[in-house]
Amino acid sequence: MPDPDDATTPDGNDWSEVMLHVVSGKGGTGKTTVAAALALALAHGGKRVMLMEVEGRQGLAQLFDTPPLPYEETKLTVAPGGGEVWGLAVDPEEALLEYLEMFYNLRRAGSVLRRMGAIDFVTTVAPGLRDVLLTGKAVELVRRKDKDSKSPYDAVVVDAPPTGRITRFLNVNTEIAGLAKVGPVRNQADSVMNVLRSPHTAVHLTTLLEEMPVQETIDGVAELHDAALPVGGIVVTMTRPPQLSDEDLELALVDNLPRSTIAAAVASAGLGSARSKQGRGITDALLTEAHDHATRVRLETTERDRINQLGRPVYELSFVPGGIDLAALYDLAESLRQQHMA
């Protein structure tokens, strides 16, 4: 049992100090879904959470079943207990103009810059600068204060680029710092890195219990660690509980399940007698499927061990049959809360 007086987890939440949650993961591991579920979980009980999308895929709009998000902070949904989840799909060009306005009061310069091809240059020809703008925007949301000096958002969740690119993405401001030795760009780059490397940021990684995503997670953790970026939790997604008892799994793995008993049961269920072609076919199919399943469960056990060896908090979300809708998202958020991720 965690100590209720433990200062690091005052409300039983593993990341209560964190304001910026960056969610990454190998493609296909449910990164966007986890980011959305985490935002909902964090908003529970009256908090206001910003969910930010940076890859221009409009994945959040699809997930929340809304029209494509404009580059504008938009309320997406409410959480139990009066919380709110807001969404923002960052458009690099708009972010650049905003950046000019914010730091230099130069929004009007935008049209000149566009005519000169400079905006194209920044947002497409030199795409790394895109990452500068995106990370800058995330940090701006975290640091923003309203007129009462309060943060308008209690937390910011970023649906970030995949594991293979995440360190480069978050570290892009270090590159800028290498380029600009002094001046406002340098200052901005340094202050973004300060936030990204602080205890107020956590980079969570999503994975499936499969060899390649787990390996990528292990490599990703090492890379983040080397870049002095704060590794958060590991979220294992789409898990399915074993359908067979441990004993039967072992038998299935070596094709030793009692065939005659199963054939008899298949017959008693009216699916075809043990001697009929149909009955034999069904029994064969069930035994083969059991073997497939046992092989898969064994693999998952190995992969789960490898994840646990990372020594990071691990959360599991079960597979949702039929795809993720808003109702499923609430269930996943509740599951993350139960596991103290939020």
**Does residue 239 belong to the site contacting other proteins (CB under 8 A)?**
no
Find the part of the chain contacting other proteins (CB under 8 A) among 43-51, 87-95, 166-174, 306-314.
166-174
**Does residue 220 belong to the site contacting other proteins (CB under 8 A)?**
no
Cβ-contact 320, 334 below 8 angstroms: no
Tell which one of 13, 16, 55, 328 touches other proteins (CB under 8 A).
55
Site string for other proteins, 7-46 (x = CB under 8 A): -------------------xxxx--x--------------
Nearest to 49 by CA among 89, 84, 13: 84
What DSSP character marks residue 309?
Answer: T
Tell which one of 104, 225, 301, 305 touches other proteins (CB under 8 A).
104
Residues 257-276 that bind other proteins (CB under 8 A): 257-258, 261-262, 264-266, 268-271
Residues 131-160 that bind other proteins (CB under 8 A): 131
Alpha carbon distance 229, 196 (integer Å): 7
Nearer to other proteins, 72 or 219 (CB): 219
**Nearest approach, Cβ of residue 316 and other proteins (Å):** 18
**Does residue 175 belong to the site contacting other proteins (CB under 8 A)?**
yes
Nearer to other proteins, 77 or 188 (CB): 188
**Residue 204, SS3 per DSSP:** strand
Q: How far is residue 241 from each of residues 162, 172, 283, 297, 323, measured CA to CA in Å?
A: 27, 40, 23, 9, 18
Tell which one of 129, 192, 193, 231 touches other proteins (CB under 8 A).
129
Nearer to other proteins, 162 or 233 (CB): 162
Q: How far is residue 163 from each of residues 159, 171, 214, 235, 310, measured CA to CA in Å?
A: 11, 13, 11, 13, 16
**Does residue 112 belong to the site contacting other proteins (CB under 8 A)?**
yes
Nearer to other proteins, 124 or 239 (CB): 124
Q: 């103290």: which residue's tokens? A: 340
Burial of 253 from C-beta contacts in 10 A (0-12 / 13-18 / 19+):
middle
**Nearest approach, Cβ of residue 294 and other proteins (Å):** 9
Nearer to other proteins, 86 or 169 (CB): 169
**Does residue 113 belong to the site contacting other proteins (CB under 8 A)?**
yes
Cβ-contact 252, 291 below 8 angstroms: yes
Q: How far is residue 48 from each of residues 79, 86, 100, measured CA to CA in Å?
A: 9, 7, 27
**Nearest approach, Cβ of residue 198 and other proteins (Å):** 22
Cβ-contact 61, 67 below 8 angstroms: yes
